[in-house]
Amino acid sequence: MARPGNGNRQSGVQRRRLAHCAGLCLAVFLVWGLGGIDAARACAFHLYKPAKTVIDRVIETDHLVVARANPENEFVYQVVETLRGNGSHATIAQLVDTRTRRKLAANPQDGVLFAFDTATGQWRLIAYLTPQYRSVIDRVLSGMGTWQGAYDPARFAIFEALQDHPEPALRELALREIDKAPYELLREIDLRMPVDSLLAGLRTLQDYPYKSIRILLLGLSGDDAARREIHAFFDRVADQDLAQHLGAFATALVEIDGTAGIALLEGKLLSDPRQPLDKLEQVVEALAIHNGVGSHETQQDIAAALGRLLRMRPEAAPLMARQFGSRQDWTLAGQLAPIVAQRRLSKWADLMVAVYVAQAKAATASGSKAQGG
């Protein structure tokens, strides 16, 4: 027979266990859920997420049409071809603007691409179609049924080939599509964009949305002018609390300089106890990316640099767990486990690191290959 009050004690234990489980689940979501999907992409440095491209909208829609100005009313669009779904009798509310009307009149082979937006119930103008642009859309429509994963290599190949196309709209589309590629795939690019053009784009407001991808491509170029630009960035931001695009520049630095780049990051940033942790997380993010694609020597130098950071600033453990864990990279498990055992952080931070260590153990136990530790 249970002792008087034992049920209450059991209920209290159960509540504490439930609270612990809820906290653990929330930590798992925050550590892996917020960064897990986009973190492996070239573009995914902190809050930056590329806008949907024309190709995204082509893939997502069930109804895709080409329209031109109505011969009987040049201010109104008329569907001339249905590329997908049922849109032959579509009514497009958007009017033909003056510039587009003149271009269509001068180029009877051109058209305007509209996709049906189910969220608004309206047709959305997504691209002006020259014959060259139309051929790209046709290639996408014919091939996208076989594309797999977040970003298929076949999709990347289409736009890699367009990076130096003479048509500006297609060059811009290529850059936006390349920006969506995982870094491992981006490293395989046959880069044909001139370095001078990439550098010039860093300094114009209209190219700001493509700044991160331009920086990454500079790192992949291996060019001396690119190297000077990347090094100059770190000279400028070493003493600044905020450093926009630091993650992209750190990735580019390691790409262009290898292990010497890791040493530079440690000398200027990781070894400086005055650096804000949110700033350092962008550097750790870049190192996590390279840890997944780099050589054994690169991985060793990354582990050593982060080990020294951890000994100097144990409070950096959660950001390491977050960035490496989101990539299912368990390299740091051995270095982070003592932090959990010694309970050197706040309860919340301890929990985040504990999730990483537990996940690493589970991956090893299930036969996954841990990358080190």
| Residues 79 and 135 occupy one common structural domain | yes
| Residues 112 and 190 occupy one common structural domain | no
Give percent above pLDDT 90 in the chain.
Answer: 75
| Residues 84 and 179 occupy one common structural domain | no
Q: Give the C-alpha separation, 257 to 245, whole Å.
A: 18
Residue 9 lies in a domain: no
Domain of residue 236, residue span: 39-50+148-329
| Residues 176 and 44 occupy one common structural domain | yes
| Residues 91 and 172 occupy one common structural domain | no
| Residues 169 and 241 occupy one common structural domain | yes
Total domains in the fold of the chain:
2
Q: Give the C-alpha separation, 156 to 109, whole Å.
A: 27
Residue 321 lies in a domain: yes
| Residues 275 and 197 occupy one common structural domain | yes
Q: pLDDT (tens digit, 9 = 90+) per residue, 246-278?
A: 999 999 999 999 999 999 999 999 999 999 999
| Residues 110 and 259 occupy one common structural domain | no
* Residue-level length of the chain: 373
Q: pLDDT (tens digit, 9 = 90+) per residue, 280-289?
A: 999 999 999 9
Question: Of 139, 161, 196, which closes a domain?
Answer: 139
- Rounded to the nearest 10 degrees, how much is the dihedral formed by the CA atoms of 207, 197, 54, 126? 70
Q: Is the pLDDT assigned to residue 92 strictly greater than 60?
A: yes
Residue 33 lies in a domain: no
| Residues 135 and 152 occupy one common structural domain | no
Residue pair 196/203 in contact (Cβ under 8 Å)? The answer is no
What is this structure's pTM?
0.83
For 279, residues 6+ apart whose C-beta sits below 8 A from its C-beta are 241, 242, 243, 246, 269
| Residues 275 and 156 occupy one common structural domain | yes
pLDDT at residue 50, rounded to an integer: 67
Question: Of 139, 167, 183, which closes a domain?
Answer: 139
